[in-house]
Amino acid sequence: MSKITKNVSIMCFHDELCQVYNALMTALSLLREGSKVTLFSGSRGVNAIHKDKIKELKCLPDQPKEMGDAVMKKMEEMELPSAEELLFMLWKKGAQILACPLNVPFFGMAKADFVDGAEFANPGTYYKDIVIQAQT
């Protein structure tokens, strides 16, 4: 099977753990297949790259607590890496991790609050330089 070699941009606009986890696993899988990966976090997704808040993400917070707890227990039983560990793997394997600078102030954050490797996206060029390149 040949490696996938594409530019890929994964956008994460939520801080619900299951959605964040899916974005991170998708990004890591594509990176491992040879794609150039950019993870863009906007809206509440900036919480998913915050070095403290990533540890507090909840699974299914809009459902009864026992449902979220059951998913978390299953993830532990499966010995899956944490979202924080996945983000670290992405950074170390060369993914570009970007935060929307327009959303960061809404949540009272600064660049120093982000995990290692996270940078601010340039809102003037992000779509032209990254998203459109991922489409070709």
Instruction: For the chain of 136 residues, list the mean pLDDT of each consecutive stretch of 10.
Output: 76 94 95 94 95 93 91 92 95 95 90 94 83 69
CB 62 within 8 A of CB 32: no
CA-CA distance, 13 to 127, in Å (whole number)? 15
CB 28 within 8 A of CB 90: yes
CATH class, domain 7-135, is alpha beta
Residue 5 tokens, joined: 């070699």
Domain boundary assignment for the chain: 7-135
| pTM recorded for the entire structure | 0.87
